[in-house]
């Protein structure tokens, strides 16, 4: 053991552990002091302005209309109810956006890998264009340039029973009649039958090695049994068709332009990013895997489904999760074109009317935080399920 000849090197200040401790204590003190300073300022400011903190305003009538509400809502309802309406709107647009963007992303990602030169070029142009233009600009484009340029209700475009004009997309509204419960019962029955069939097919395959086209036949079961029950109940659905009148459209279901613009912009934009993720995932699977599958005699589509895709998914899922999170957070841009989602209703109108900045902004952050958290928990669970099981 060598002895340290320089006594100053042995001082406490040169000990790594002590220095780390000192640094951390200083850091903690700074954070605590900053927190205390900001908080005391906040209280002084709120007192000066006469703003009372708390969520009492949630029980007061809101007094503003919300264009899109999936649950009952009028101006006489409370701020609390308005918050729930906005929350539902955010969830709906995020969920639909995630589904649509995944479809677009998979199609475009595969198209970019296509052996067909023209298809691959078109997909590349799509991806490189949409990825490099701000989402807000794309939303404005869809809302102010495309949807606003559609004809007035009386000159709507018509496709079958659908109408398209500047007020939105109108579709027939299904209204259930007596006896629809029977159909719902039939639907669940068919799903149970399909699940049973898949389990049976899997067991039989493990036992005998014989393969049964379980997925197609279960799809057939679901459609067939549901239709059968529809027929038995005497087709208990009537459609409320949209009717054009001079200045408006009556009846039917309507997708307002705000909703369409946000959904289209969100899903095409995120779809471009997902396409790149899908492409990278598929390229990451070693070519040897494909060759091995072929030498085992698997056909092309089976090679893709059983060999390439499961391995590609492992690479795809983590970045896909962050794209889904981005989409959910980006749905807040809908506020800029008056889609009544969380930011527009709570941080926009409610904040303006009540002045409760801390509560409204904090609430929004909390909601987005938990939304992000739940998406990432779900995707982590799925990722664990799909990930490589090693010995």
Partner 1 sequence: MTIIFKPSPSLPPPVTSVGAVAWVRQNLFSSPLNIFLTFFSAYVIYLLLPPVIQWAFIDATWEGTSKASCTAGGACWAFIAVYFDQFMYGLYPEAETWRINLAVIMLVLMVGAFAIKAVNKLYLSIAIIVVYPIVAYFLFAGGVFGLEKVETSLWGGLFLTVLLGVIGIVASFPLGIVLALGRRSEMPIAKSVCVVFIETIRAVPLITILFMASVMIPLFLPEGLNFNKLLRVLIGITLFSAAYMAEVVRGGLQAIPKGQYEAADAMGLTYWQSMILVILPQALKLVIPGIVNSFIALFKDTTLVYIVGMFDFLGRIQAANHDSNWLGTTVEGYAFAGFIYWAICFGMSRYSMALERKLETGHKRN
User: Given the rule CB under 8 A, which residues bind partner 1?
Assistant: 20, 23-24, 27-28, 31, 38, 41-42, 44-46, 48, 114-119, 122, 128-129, 131-137, 140-141, 144-145, 148-149, 329-330, 332-333, 335-336, 343, 347, 351, 357-358, 361, 364-365, 368-369, 372-373
Whole-number Å distance between alpha carbons of 218 and 221 = 5
Beta-carbon contacts of residue 23 (< 8 Å; ≥ 6 apart): none
Least distance in angstroms from the C-beta of 27 to partner 1: 6
Identify the bridge partners of residue 159 per DSSP, sorted by sequence position.
162
Nearer to partner 1, 114 or 176 (CB): 114
How do beta strands 162-165 and 168-171 pair? Answer: antiparallel
Whole-number Å distance between alpha carbons of 245 and 165 = 12
Least distance in angstroms from the C-beta of 10 to partner 1: 17
Nearer to partner 1, 133 or 192 (CB): 133
Nearer to partner 1, 50 or 209 (CB): 50
Least distance in angstroms from the C-beta of 208 to partner 1: 34
Q: How many CB atoms lie within 10 A of CB 275?
A: 27
Nearer to partner 1, 7 or 17 (CB): 17
Least distance in angstroms from the C-beta of 21 to partner 1: 8
How do beta strands 162-165 and 157-159 pair? Answer: antiparallel
Return the closest-CA partner of residue 269 out of 349, 326, 223.
Answer: 326
Least distance in angstroms from the C-beta of 200 to partner 1: 34
Nearer to partner 1, 116 or 248 (CB): 116
**At residue 303, what are phi and psi to the nearest 5 degrees?**
-55, -45
Least distance in angstroms from the C-beta of 288 to partner 1: 15
Least distance in angstroms from the C-beta of 14 to partner 1: 11
Nearer to partner 1, 140 or 227 (CB): 140
Nearer to partner 1, 73 or 324 (CB): 324
Whole-number Å distance between alpha carbons of 350 and 344 = 9
**Given strand 157-159, what is the order of strands in its sheet?**
157-159, 162-165, 168-171, 253-255
Nearer to partner 1, 183 or 277 (CB): 277
Return the closest-CA partner of residue 330 out of 375, 380, 374, 267.
Answer: 267
Nearer to partner 1, 262 or 364 (CB): 364
Least distance in angstroms from the C-beta of 98 to partner 1: 16
Nearer to partner 1, 119 or 298 (CB): 119
Nearer to partner 1, 232 or 357 (CB): 357
Least distance in angstroms from the C-beta of 326 to partner 1: 9
Return the closest-CA partner of residue 149 out of 267, 257, 266, 245.
Answer: 257
Least distance in angstroms from the C-beta of 111 to partner 1: 9
Whole-number Å distance between alpha carbons of 54 and 175 = 43
Whole-number Å distance between alpha carbons of 83 and 80 = 5
Beta strands in 145-229 (DSSP E): 157-159, 162-165, 168-171, 173-176
Least distance in angstroms from the C-beta of 161 to partner 1: 25
DSSP per-residue string spanning 324-384: HHHHHHHGGGGGGGT--SHIIIIIIIIHHHH--HHHHHHHHHHHHHHHHHHHHHHHHHHHH
Q: Is the dihedral of CA 53, 58, 59, 61 positive or negative?
A: positive
């Amino acid at each position: 053991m060598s002895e340290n000849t320089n006594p100053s090197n042995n001082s406490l200040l040169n000990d790594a552990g002590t220095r780390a401790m000192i640094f951390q204590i200083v850091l903690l003190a700074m954070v605590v002091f900053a927190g205390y300073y900001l908080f005391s300022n906040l209280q002084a400011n709120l007192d000066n302005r006469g703003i009372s903190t708390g969520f009492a305003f949630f029980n007061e009538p809101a007094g503003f209309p919300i264009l899109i509400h999936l649950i009952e809502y009028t101006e006489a309802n409370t701020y609390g109810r308005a918050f729930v309406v906005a929350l539902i709107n955010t969830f709906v647009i995020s969920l639909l956006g995630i589904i649509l963007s995944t479809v677009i992303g998979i199609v475009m990602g595969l198209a970019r890998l296509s052996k067909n030169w023209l298809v691959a070029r078109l997909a590349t142009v799509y991806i490189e264009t949409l990825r490099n233009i701000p989402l807000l600009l794309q939303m404005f484009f869809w809302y102010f340039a495309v949807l606003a340029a559609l004809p007035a209700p009386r000159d709507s475009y018509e496709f079958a029973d659908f109408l398209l004009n500047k007020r939105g997309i109108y579709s027939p509204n299904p209204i259930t009649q007596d006896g629809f419960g029977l159909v719902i019962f039939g639907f669940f029955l068919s799903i149970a039958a399909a699940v049973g069939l898949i389990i049976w097919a899997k067991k039989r395959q493990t036992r005998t090695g014989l393969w049964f086209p379980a997925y197609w036949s279960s799809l057939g079961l679901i459609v067939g049994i549901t239709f059968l029950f529809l027929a038995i109940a005497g087709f208990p659905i009537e459609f409320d068709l949209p009717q054009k009148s001079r200045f408006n459209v009556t009846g039917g279901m309507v997708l307002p332009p705000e909703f369409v613009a946000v959904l289209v912009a969100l899903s095409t934009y995120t779809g471009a990013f997902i396409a790149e993720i899908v492409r990278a995932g598929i390229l990451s699977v070693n070519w040897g895997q494909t060759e091995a599958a072929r030498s085992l005699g698997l056909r092309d589509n089976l090679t893709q489904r059983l060999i390439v895709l499961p391995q590609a998914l492992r690479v795809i899922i983590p970045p896909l999760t962050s794209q889904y999170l981005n989409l959910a957070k980006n749905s807040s841009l809908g506020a800029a074109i008056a889609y009544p989602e969380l930011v527009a209703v709570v941080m926009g109108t409610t904040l303006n009317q009540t002045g409760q900045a801390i509560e409204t902004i904090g609430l929004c952050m909390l909601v987005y935080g938990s939304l992000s958290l739940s998406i990432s928990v779900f995707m982590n669970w799925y990722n664990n399920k799909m990930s490589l099981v090693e010995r």
